């Protein structure tokens, strides 16, 4: 296992401090090791990192840290050579790519950004509200990250607004004590039209229309949006209540940044000292295979868990963001699928598995 960071769970350690899983721990653990019983229902960021560290120790998983993979290419004998920035090369009959769907921050080119005297950062760099106290902050993007960062800022009395350009789907994390994650998994087992209709009715009944708060309500059910667009609805943990109280403002899309703030598409302008771009991420997985076309979906994510054709014996885990129940649950299921496939192929080949060949070039 090659890992570019210096420790297990580095991505979780780097997330903003307020972050908790939006999925219950019973459906978010990795195979063979549940979250500890004393962990809360929705596990906080630091506990997820702790769990991953314990997981690696429990199963003797020893990544080679500080190794960033820059290329995977086919060797003359049909095996794969994985090349790292350090010069390390690993030769193996199979490769599992698990670099994640949220690898590289997406940074839109905002008009007027060079004129803005304030600070523009991506949500990937956000840690807590403390560094923004006393400032006026605009969060761009009403996804789960943007919604929760805005909530964190509001809870620390920071003057904050969210720029919302597109229609949104918002659902509560729990309804009548039942996790929305569990409900979505149940609805996904129904015929699609039936499940979508129920999901839409539940959203309208619990959350209601959002137009009075400056947002447009999506006409698509949360379940259909996830399945067809790969966009998770906003799992609300308090942002909507803050919007209703006027503690979080809602603004339209951005026309341009100015020297001291932002001008919006409706012609209004407001001063801001900081802009946080909660504009998502994209994957770098396909770029690891120069000269080989990696089939990807409309989000640029690998479209299949098991590679075929030129990608025979390559597996992609953690890129399917369209499944109900959350990405961690999907990762656990895919991990088991890949393990079974590898085990079956090793048995058929009659060649025992090894640690792979390592060589410094």
Mean of pLDDT values over 244-273: 97
pLDDT at site 361:
36
Which of 281, 305, 338 is the endpoint of a domain? 281
pLDDT at site 354:
54
More confident residue, 109 or 257: 257
Per-residue pLDDT reduced to its tens digit, 189-223:
999 999 999 999 999 999 999 999 999 999 999 99
CB 210 within 8 A of CB 216: yes
Long-range contacts of 292-295, Cβ-Cβ distance < 8 Å, separation of 24 or more: 292/74
Mean of pLDDT values over 84-103: 95
- For residues 217 and 265, membership in a common domain is answered with yes
- For residues 9 and 41, membership in a common domain is answered with yes
CATH of the domain at 315: 3.50.50.60
Phi, psi of 306, rounded to the nearest 5 degrees: -110, 125
- For residues 118 and 257, membership in a common domain is answered with yes
- Pairing type for strands 254-257 and 261-264 reads antiparallel
Show the domain range for 296.
Answer: 2-101+282-360
Which of 266, 281, 296 is the endpoint of a domain? 281
- For residues 208 and 319, membership in a common domain is answered with no
For 262-326, the DSSP string reads: EEETTS-EEE-SEEEE---EE--GGGGSTTSPPPB-TTS-BS-SB--GGGTTEEE-S----STT-
Which of 242, 261, 281 is the endpoint of a domain? 281
CA–CA separation, 98 and 276 (whole Å): 28
pTM recorded for the entire structure: 0.92
Phi, psi of 95, rounded to the nearest 5 degrees: -135, 135
pLDDT at site 357:
53
Q: What Cα–Cα distance (Å) separates residue 128 from each residue in 17, 33, 105, 275?
A: 6, 31, 18, 14
Our count of domains for the chain comes to 2
pLDDT at site 359:
47
State percent of the chain over pLDDT 70. 97
Phi, psi of 263, rounded to the nearest 5 degrees: -105, 130
Per-residue pLDDT reduced to its tens digit, 298-309:
889 999 999 999
Mean pLDDT over all residues of the chain? 94
Per-residue pLDDT reduced to its tens digit, 254-267:
999 999 999 999 99
């Amino acid at each position: 296992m090659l890992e570019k960071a210096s420790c297990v769970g580095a991505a979780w350690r780097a997330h903003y401090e307020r972050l908790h899983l939006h999925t219950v721990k019973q459906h978010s653990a990795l195979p063979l090791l549940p979250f500890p019983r004393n962990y809360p229902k929705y596990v906080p960021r630091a506990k997820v990192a702790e769990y991953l560290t314990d997981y690696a120790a429990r199963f003797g998983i020893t990544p080679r840290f500080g190794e960033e993979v820059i290329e995977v290419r086919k060797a003359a004998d049909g095996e794969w050579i994985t090349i790292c920035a350090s010069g390390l090369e690993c030769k193996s009959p199979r490769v599992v790519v698990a670099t994640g769907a949220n690898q590289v921050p997406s940074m839109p080119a905002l008009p007027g950004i060079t004129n803005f005297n304030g600070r523009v950062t991506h949500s990937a760099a956000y840690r807590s509200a403390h560094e923004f106290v006393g400032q006026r902050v605009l969060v761009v993007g009403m996804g789960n990250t943007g919604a929760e960062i805005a909530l964190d800022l509001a809870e620390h009395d920071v003057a904050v607004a969210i720029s919302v350009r597109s229609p949104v789907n918002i659902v509560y994390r729990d309804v009548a004590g039942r996790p929305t994650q569990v409900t979505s998994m149940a609805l996904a087992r129904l015929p699609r039209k039936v499940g979508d209709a129920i999901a839409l009715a539940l959203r309208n009944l619990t959350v209601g229309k959002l137009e009075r708060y400056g947002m447009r309500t999506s006409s698509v059910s949360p379940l259909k949006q996830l399945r067809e667009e790969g966009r998770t609805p906003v799992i609300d943990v308090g942002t909507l209540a803050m919007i209703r109280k006027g503690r979080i403002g809602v603004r339209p899309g951005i026309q341009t940044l100015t020297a001291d703030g932002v001008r919006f598409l409706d012609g209004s302008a407001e001063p801001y000292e900081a802009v946080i771009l909660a504009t998502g991420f994209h994957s770098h997985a396909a770029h690891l295979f120069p000269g080989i076309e990696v089939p990807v979906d409309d989000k640029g994510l690998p479209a299949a868990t098991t590679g075929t054709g030129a990608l025979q014996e390559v597996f992609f885990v953690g890129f399917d963001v369209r499944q109900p129940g959350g990405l961690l649950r999907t990762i656990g299921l895919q991990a088991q699928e890949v393990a079974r496939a590898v085990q079956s192929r090793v048995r058929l080949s009659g060649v025992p598995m090894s640690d792979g060949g390592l060589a410094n070039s």
